Chains A and B, each alone.
Chain A
Amino acid sequence: MNKFFTNKLSIISFIFIPIIFLWHPNWLGFLGVQPYWPLFWLLPWSMINGSVNGLVFGLFLGLILDSLTLDNNLTQIPGLMFCGFLFGRIKLNTDILAGHFRHGLICSFGSFLCGTLHLSQILFKNFSDSSSLIFISGIKNILAEVFLTGLFAPFICSQLLRMFKVSRIKLH
């Protein structure tokens, strides 16, 4: 049983992303905004398995998360796929401390990218109505999300990266 969990750790943790996304703990938020959870999993996964894998799992994550949100016309798939592809191009760093900070910066950038894509979709959809009001709250959302994602990424990504590596070594 223990061996099963070690081997399938990446997949088991993948299943938990939508659960955390739904759980949405308020005490972890900032200005009512949460960190962008899927990037914490996508970064270590893509770094270990490469761009194509990152792209595919970005699509998978996007499909699941889109199904849990109510906005039918907005999608998270392009942002996550692009991030998955981009993260796969990044080489693993041997320096542990630099690695931690790098994870924070990369996830912040990914969150900024996904947030901007999301906001542009909202603005495009509500172009005629009250786009200026939505734009201001959208910018606030992006900044808060970027800050939180960057803050948590060094802890979560490094831990997941270590666990995925161990699981991969045991698998081979």
Chain B
Amino acid sequence: MFDIRRISSSRWWHKKKSWIFCGIFLFLVFVRISKGSLYKDFFYFISKPFWPGQFQKEVIVKSIDQESLIKLNLIKKDNIRLRKILSLQESSNNNKISAAVISRKTGGWWRQIILNKGSKDGVEIGNIVTGPGGLLGRVKNTSLFTSSVTLLTSPESKLGVWVDRSQINGVMVGSGDDHPSLILYSKDADIKVGDFVSSSPASSLLPPNIPIGIIQSIDNTLQSKKTAKISLLAKPNVIDWVQILRGNI
């Protein structure tokens, strides 16, 4: 009888440590499943004193002016084209939320930024994020106070874009460095270094004509397709304030 009691008291479920271990493990699994919402909200509060101030305003206003000029030109052209086609839906970008960048991973493996506006402010997964210069990325994940944005440079990012001069659609894929790649599935596609790239009017993920970047170099070595490196107009590594475009396209 004594022996049985001794054996049963040495089972793992009789040890307090094992239960603590299981508790921690379950908590971490919860953190993983909730995509770190607790941690990001905690980071929101402790990083609050270090958020970017107003001193960047002048720089941002200047960049926004330049962006507006390019956009205006594009919209004029697009308007003429759409009047001819009369089949595309109009987009409304009036519903914007300004947000500050509170965490930034623009180099290395993970290319993402975390913003100080979350589901509480109406940010939804899939919303478009723009900065001074143009498109930055899309909201991939939201917590109560924060939202995480996949940058265009991330290998996860794949978007439909449009070369403005020759009006060719292509796919822009992040390649893990600062210059995403534009893939055109035609060997004879008419593109030149310096061509302007914007979001495609045919894209179902983005509103049309958001400035993205300029073609920096072209690679003709592939057999069936043409690839090009793009220099982005919006620089995620220096931008402190961004705009989130709410609502459907």
Known: A26-B104, A129-B173. 5 other contacts (CB 8 A): A26-B106, A115-B109, A122-B155, A130-B175, A141-B108
Contacts of B36 in A (CB 8 A): 18, 64, 67-68
Kindly identify, within residues 137 to 152 of chain A, every residue whose CB is under 8 Å from any CB belonging to chain B.
137-138, 140-141, 144-145
Closest Cβ neighbor of B141 among chain A residues: A70
In the assembled complex, B176 has its CB within 8 A of some CB on chain A: yes
Chain B hits for A70, CB < 8 A: 110, 112, 140-141, 148, 150, 154, 156
A168–chain B nearest beta-carbon distance, Å = 17
CB distance from B221 to the nearest CB of A (A): 10
Contact of B112 among A66, A69, A115 (CB under 8 A): A69
A residues less than 8 Å from B150 (CB atoms):
70
Which one of B28, B106, B156, B177 lies within 8 Å of A60 (CB-CB)?
A: B28
Chain B window 128-148, contacts with chain A (Cβ cutoff 8 Å), 1 for yes, 0 for no? 000000000000110000001
B175 touches A32 (CB 8 A): no
> A33, A34, A63, A134: which contacts B32 (Cβ < 8 A)?
A63
In which size bucket is the chain A interface?
A: 35 or more
- Would you give the shortest CB distance from B183 to chain A, in whole angstroms? 7
Q: A130 to B171: give the CA distance in the assembly, Å.
A: 12
Interface size class of B (residues with CB under 8 A): 35 or more
Closest to B31 in A: A67
* Cβ distance A151 to chain B, nearest Cβ, rounded Å: 15
Contact A19 B32 (CB under 8 A): no
Residue of A nearest to B104 (CB): A24
Residues of B within 8 A of A140 (CB): 177
Consensus secondary structure, chain B interface: mixed
Q: Is the interface of A mostly helix, strand, loop or mixed?
A: helix
Chain A 15-54 interface mask (CB, 8 Å, partner B; 1/0): 0001100111010010111100000000000000000000
Residues 18-71 of B contacting A (Cβ, < 8 Å):
24-25, 28-29, 31-36, 39-40, 43, 46-47
For residue B25, which residues in chain A have a CB less than 8 angstroms away from its CB?
60
Distance from B134 Cβ to chain A, minimum over Cβ atoms (Å): 20
Which residues of B are interface residues toward A (Cβ below 8 A)?
24-25, 28-29, 31-36, 39-40, 43, 46-47, 103-110, 112, 114, 140-141, 148, 150, 154-156, 173, 175-178, 181, 183, 227, 237
A16 vs chain B, min Cβ distance (A): 10
Q: How far is the CA of A63 from the CA of B33 in the complex (A)?
A: 9
Asked whether A67 lies within 8 Å of B32 as measured between CB atoms, the reply is yes
Q: Which residues of A contact B103 (CB under 8 A)?
A: 22-24
A13 at the binding interface (Cβ < 8 Å):
no
> Which interface residue of B32, B173, B183, B227 has the most chain A CB atoms within 10 A?
B32
Name the 3 nearest CB pairs between A and B, nearest first.
Answer: A32-B107, A67-B36, A137-B177
Given A22-B103, A26-B237, A118-B109: A66 and B32 interface contact (C-beta under 8 Å): yes
Contact B39 A64 (CB under 8 A): yes
A137 B175 Cβ-Cβ under 8 A: yes
**B114/A22 in contact, CB under 8 A:** yes
A-B contact pairs, 9 of them (CB 8 A): A24-B104, A60-B28, A67-B32, A67-B39, A68-B39, A70-B112, A133-B176, A134-B175, A140-B177
